[in-house]
Amino acid sequence: GTGSSILSALQDLFWLSKSKVEKQLQIISVLQWVLTFLIMGVACTLILMYILCTDCWAIAALYLAWLVFDWNTPKKGGRRSQWVRNWAIWRYFRDYFPIRLVKTHNLLTTRNYIFGYHPHGIMGLGAFCNFSTEATGVSQKFPGIRPYLATLAGNFRMPILRDYLMSGGICPVNRDSIDYILSKNGSGNAIIIVVGGAAESLNCTPGKNSVTLKNRKGFVRLALRHGADLVPVYSFGENEVFKQVIFEEGSWGRWVQKKFQKHIGFAPCIFHGRGLFSSNTWGLLPYSKPITTVVGEPITIPKIDNPSQREVDFYHSIYVDSLIKLFDKYKSKFGLPETEVLEVN
């Protein structure tokens, strides 16, 4: 009767309210990560310098002393925290898009791996969520495998930011760090390298599936030197979450981007997502488009201390073929037409 109708209406109102709260938590979780990506390093450096000029200078001095003592930790596998990787905020982060991790093959814990992650996108959202947090269950899907997401070494020179990154299992993408993890950290390690890097980010735009890979062979040489298996990874939807102004080759805008890339290690992109309060306005929040990261079949790599260029080229060609096959096999399952072709540059 009337009583049950009122109860039903109240229940509907309750669930609507809960849904809105969850959506706001999702937005907050993504916003904090975007701000971390863009400004945390610089902000923490400036705050530390300011504290040195105040009566609390001793706190900053103690941290700087610790920083000197701890300087090489990022090069030695870092200092991951399962507590941080399991924060609830990452589950809200995952559900905002949503982000999914798809396993296609088992990985042996007696081997080490280099995952080639494609494409870079603007911020590598799928790479972060899947491999630097437990939000999509990477440890359950690949038991015994320790993922290390590799990023710019310059990030680890920034106070506080370096510790935050290490807590998620993020390491510098340099030879010292990778050599240590693959040779002095036992087996069952997986280093995730966003192979296309800054150059690839300059071309990412919704509706485009292209990777910068033809002349990226350093990760193959590293795999051969350590006998680490190569695993192609493609993230469907990574390019859909931001819109970017693409500068043509030869333009002044592309010239500036390439100069930054060469001298600093990253390329400044002019991009936008949605606004904080409305999806119809421009802002720094990514659009809530699904991202599905597919981990392909591992390619067995022999250990060769000094691989020749011919050997590097051979295994690189196998890797490129495997990535294209992975893309073609799963593209229709995740919203792309059968006619879609992966562009390899």
Q: Are 151 and 173 in contact (CB under 8 A)?
A: yes
pLDDT on residue 269: 79
First-to-final CA distance of the chain:
67
CB count in 10 Å sphere of residue 167: 18
Q: Are 178 and 222 in contact (CB under 8 A)?
A: yes
Instruction: Provide the 3-class DSSP secondary structure of residue 273.
Output: strand
CA atoms within 13 A on the CB side of 74: 28
pLDDT on residue 227: 97
Q: What are phi and psi of 195, to 5 degrees?
A: -60, -40
pLDDT on residue 1: 52
Q: Which residue type occupies 239?
A: N
One digit per residue, the tens of pLDDT, for the chain of length 345 reads 555 555 555 455 555 567 888 999 999 999 999 999 889 999 999 999 999 999 999 999 999 999 999 999 999 999 999 999 999 999 999 999 999 999 999 999 999 999 999 999 999 999 999 999 999 999 999 999 999 999 999 899 999 999 999 999 999 999 999 999 999 889 999 999 999 988 888 888 899 999 999 999 999 999 999 999 999 999 999 999 999 887 777 787 777 877 777 766 667 778 889 998 888 889 999 999 999 999 999 999 999 999 999 999 999 999 999 999 999 999 999 989 999 999 999
Residue whose pair of structure tokens reads 């072709």 in the numeric block:
341
Residue whose pair of structure tokens reads 């150059």 in the numeric block:
199
Cα 227 to Cα 225: distance, rounded to the nearest angstrom:
6
Kindly report whether the global pTM for this prediction surpasses the value 0.85. Answer: yes
pLDDT in tens, 112-133: 999 999 999 999 999 999 999 9
pLDDT on residue 10: 47
Cα 204 to Cα 243: distance, rounded to the nearest angstrom:
8
Cα 203 to Cα 217: distance, rounded to the nearest angstrom:
20
pLDDT in tens, 79-92: 999 999 999 999 99
pLDDT on residue 106: 96
Nearest to 343 by CA among 126, 122, 128, 118: 118
Q: Are 138 and 208 in contact (CB under 8 A)?
A: no
pLDDT on residue 209: 94
